[in-house]
Amino acid sequence: MLYQGENLKVALESDGIAVLTFDAPGSVNKFDRQTLSELDAALDAISASQGVKALVLASGKDTFIVGADITEFLETFKLPEPELLAWVQKANAIFSKLEDLPFPTVSAVNGFALGGGCECILATDIRVADATAKIGLPEVKLGLIPGFGGTVRLPRVIGADNAMELITTGKDNRADAALKVGLVDAVVAPEKLFEAALTMASSAIAGKLDWQARRADKQSALKLDKLEAGMSFATATAMVAAQAGKHYPAPMTAVKGIEAAARMGRDEALAIEHQGFIKLAKTDVATALIGIFLNDQLIKGKAKKAGKAAHAIDKAAVLGAGIMGGGIAYQSASTGTPIIMKDINDKALHLGLSEASKLLNKQLERGKINGAKMAGVLNNIVPSLSYDSVKDVNIVVEAVVENPKVKASVLAEVEGVVGQDAIITSNTSTISINQLAQSLKKPERFCGMHFFNPVHRMPLVEVIRGEHTSDETVATVVAYAAKMGKSPIVVNDCPGFFVNRVLFPYFQGFSLLVRDGADFQAVDKVMEKQFGWPMGPAYLLDVVGIDTGHHAQAVMAEGFPTRMSKTDKDAIDVMFENQRFGQKNGKGFYVYTEDKRGKPKKEATAESYELLKAVVKAQGEFSPDEIINRTMLPMIIETVRCLEEGIINSPAEADMGLVYGLGFPPFRGGVFRYIDTVGLDKIVAIADQYAHLGELYQVTDTMREMAASGKTYYGQ
Ligand SMILES: NC(=O)c1ccc[n+]([C@@H]2O[C@H](COP(=O)([O-])OP(=O)(O)OC[C@H]3O[C@@H](n4cnc5c(N)ncnc54)[C@H](O)[C@@H]3O)[C@@H](O)[C@H]2O)c1
């Protein structure tokens, strides 16, 4: 043994080939501080030993290296810039040391080689992968660029165009695609991988593979003439500007860095990468995106834990085959849980099934599934008009019309049919879970399971715990949601639960702006382009449905009369009274038509403005900041209230609820991350300026206390 660390070891094979095996104690290998320093020491041990003629890197696990240890990022990135630079330089010196070894180096890649894992194999001369390999540089997804030489070595190995595409999208390549672009030199069956790597190493030792030339390419300028370079970088710049947009600076930093370093040798080029990396590491965007990654891990961890306390779910039922019921049936069936879809209306069942087929057909066309999988999923959705078929299910999701009386009777009916251990849930968006529980004999087996529309696309499921709901019930519903590929967050019962409770104050902020003279289109534009929402409030109301919004608003007003009830008619009332229900009937704030290609098109017409005159009380001009403050403050303060009242468990879960349930701009990380970024003291000061607008703008005492003592929600 040449070296033995905790996470990796080096052994010398008889023919002079040293084998460095990454094999950390956990389930995967990653580049944490410990592994990096062990790699450094191992390389020194290899250099110092006589008789090494080649080095092979391999993994002792079923995946190579998943990347850097992201849990260390936020702490590390807080270092002052010179220290951060020293950290990056030190890490890079290790990869350059690997690249500079005086004999050929080969990587044997299985499973994931992402981020630092990919950069590590790029530092070797030859790369052989097995069919399970997935190789890529996903750093932009965290608001970063590769920091261990990825932007330098990758373009020199696979060409600038390919490299820029891989780095700016963050997508990983399967083995065959990696082979096609030259990211790996060979792909073999998993059981042949190690042997193939040894053979390659022997060939290189014997001089049959010109490893020196490959290495020299990586260490010199990019092979692009001036004209080619001009074209490549101009195209990439335009593409990234259009796709990533101004809120996500990392992809552009990557392109600009690769361009600036194009004529440089390795070490100079690395210095450019370091600068770009450090600049990004210090941005709020990187903090927010890394925060989302960590919060997502937390939710996954909780779901995994819930899985251990959960009942088995082998068969489910959904009551109601409407928009939501159909979506829930599709999602359950396509993730492996057969489901009975029950309705009282035959037509609805047909519609539900045809929606599922449409979704599956799209995937079939894209080659994501085959015919057998499609048939399997469709067979897993069993339409029914009778309760008989529901008898033996483990879980029921009620998704009938949003009417408390109908729901109460449907819930009581189904409880009489299912077995003693079956769990019953409701997908209601507004009705109190505690109220619905009153119609059940065993309320402990009941909770809310709130999906978002469209079900197949929206990642969030709110699991709403009622006062009688048992822990076992919550655990089982969380596990079922996770099995469906969703991110469940557990919340306590209150009007609107968590997501709608904080959404409606935002709509109210919007209505007040319209009242005071703001143009709804201008508000949408600021909230989309500047704040970063996928849709501004007027557009979102049209998509949700003005009738649905109007109804939910009334429920919220009843639940929180002092903050959310209104004395005057507002913009939503105007649309509702004029039967402008939004996208569903072709007109709301906007008018919806189809363009020549049949794509939905939205347009603001004079009619909306004319109707809104009934509620406009002033002629105000609002700056983008005012628009953002007046719409966001009610959402922010209500979110804080939900935390203070224990409706949500943590800032992390709240932020994920907002990002996954509403599309809160990921680069802002969620409400709590946003507060921490702006500063709670500033938020309080701004809110105080708007306090005259009503209770929705008045901060809580705890917010004031926390602001005064400089506390943050994430404590970082
Ligand atoms: N649409 C959304 O955006 C959305 C989002 C989240 C939650 N929800 C909630 O999901 C539920 C369903 O909403 P939807 O938009 O799918 O409504 P929908 O009107 O599209 O579908 C309701 C279905 O329930 C059926 N139904 C009525 N009474 C029934 C009964 N006794 N037994 C079985 N089926 C019955 C109807 O025939 C209809 O097919 C509601 O509680 C709603 O609040 C809706």
Q: Could you read off the pLDDT of 168-188 as tens digits, one per residue?
A: 999 999 999 999 999 999 999
- Ligand 1 pocket test, pick from 400, 453, 486 with the greatest ligand atom count within 8 Å of Cβ, gives 400
Other Cβ atoms closer than 10 A to 40:
17
Percent of the chain past pLDDT 90, that is, above it, reads 96
Q: What percent of the chain has pLDDT over 70?
A: 100
Retrieve residue 209's tokens.
Answer: 């593979």
Please report the atom of ligand 1 found closest to the CA of residue 321. 39
Between the CA of 490 and the centroid of ligand 1 the distance, in Å, is 22
CB 126 within 8 A of CB 214: yes
The pLDDT value given to residue 684: 98
Question: How close is the Cα of 553 to the center of ligand 1, in Å?
Answer: 18
- Mean pLDDT computed over 301-327: 95
Mean model confidence pLDDT for the chain? 96
CA atoms of 483 and 461, how far apart (whole Å): 12
517 CA → ligand 1 middle, Å: 36
Is residue 384 within 6 Å of ligand 1 at its C-beta? no
- Active-site residues: which are they? 450
What does the pLDDT read at residue 31? 97
84 backbone dihedrals φ, ψ, rounded to 5°: -65, -40
Looking at residue 226, its pLDDT comes to: 87
CB atoms within 10 A of CB 48: 10
325 lines ligand 1 (CB under 6 A): yes
Mutate to test the pocket of ligand 1, among 401, 417, 584 (most ligand atoms within 8 A of CB): 401
Ligand 1 and 343: CB distance under 6 A = yes
Of the listed ranges 141-145, 366-370, 458-462, the least confidently predicted one is 366-370
Residue 667, both tokens = 């680069």
Does pLDDT of 67 surpass 80? yes
Please give the number of the atom of ligand 1 that sits closest to the Cα of 319: 33
Q: Which band of pLDDT confidence, cut at 50, 70 and 90, is reported for residue 716?
A: low
Closest alpha carbon to 524 in 638, 628, 614: 628
Specify the DSSP class assigned to residue 587. Answer: B
Q: Is the per-residue pLDDT at 617 higher than 90?
A: yes
- CA-nearest residue, atom 38 of ligand 1: 322
For residues 576-587, average pLDDT: 96
Burial of 227 per CB tally in 10 Å (0-12, 13-18, 19+): exposed
Please write the tens of the pLDDT for every residue from 151-174. Answer: 999 999 999 999 999 999 999 999
Cα gap 433→439, rounded to integer Å: 10
Query: pTM higher than 0.85 for the full model?
Result: yes
Q: What is the per-residue pLDDT across 104-124, written as a single tens digit (0 to 9) for each?
A: 999 999 999 999 999 999 999
Residue 597 has pLDDT above 70, yes or no: yes
Residues 248 and 140 sit within 8 Å (Cβ to Cβ): yes
Q: What is the pLDDT of residues 670-699, one digit of tens each?
A: 999 999 999 999 999 999 999 999 999 999
| 410, 392 Cβ separation under 8 angstroms | no
- Average confidence (pLDDT) over 562-583: 95
Residue 71 scores a pLDDT above 70 = yes
pLDDT tier, 599 (very low <50, low <70, confident <90, very high otherwise)? confident
CA of 642 to the centre of ligand 1 (A): 27
Is 316 touching ligand 1 by the criterion CB < 6 Å?
no
**How high is the pLDDT of residue 567?**
84
DSSP letters spanning 308-319: HHPPP---EEEE
Sequence-ordered list of residues with C-beta below 8 angstroms from that of 649, at least 6 positions apart, any chain:
489, 490, 491
Q: Please choose from 318, 319, 324, 417 the residue to mutate so as to test ligand 1's pocket, defined by most ligand atoms within 8 A of CB.
A: 324
Q: Tell me, in angstroms, the distance from the centre of ligand 1 to residue 328's CA.
A: 11
Residue 225 confidence class, pLDDT cut points 50, 70, 90: confident
**End-to-end Cα separation, the chain, in angstroms:** 42
- pLDDT of amino acid 461: 98
Lowest-pLDDT range of 133-137, 392-396, 468-472, 593-597:
593-597
Residue 600 is predicted with a pLDDT of: 80
Query: What is the mean predicted confidence (pLDDT) over 467-472?
Result: 97
* Contact partners, residue 479, CB within 8 Å, separation at least 6: 303, 306, 307, 310, 313
pLDDT for 373: 93
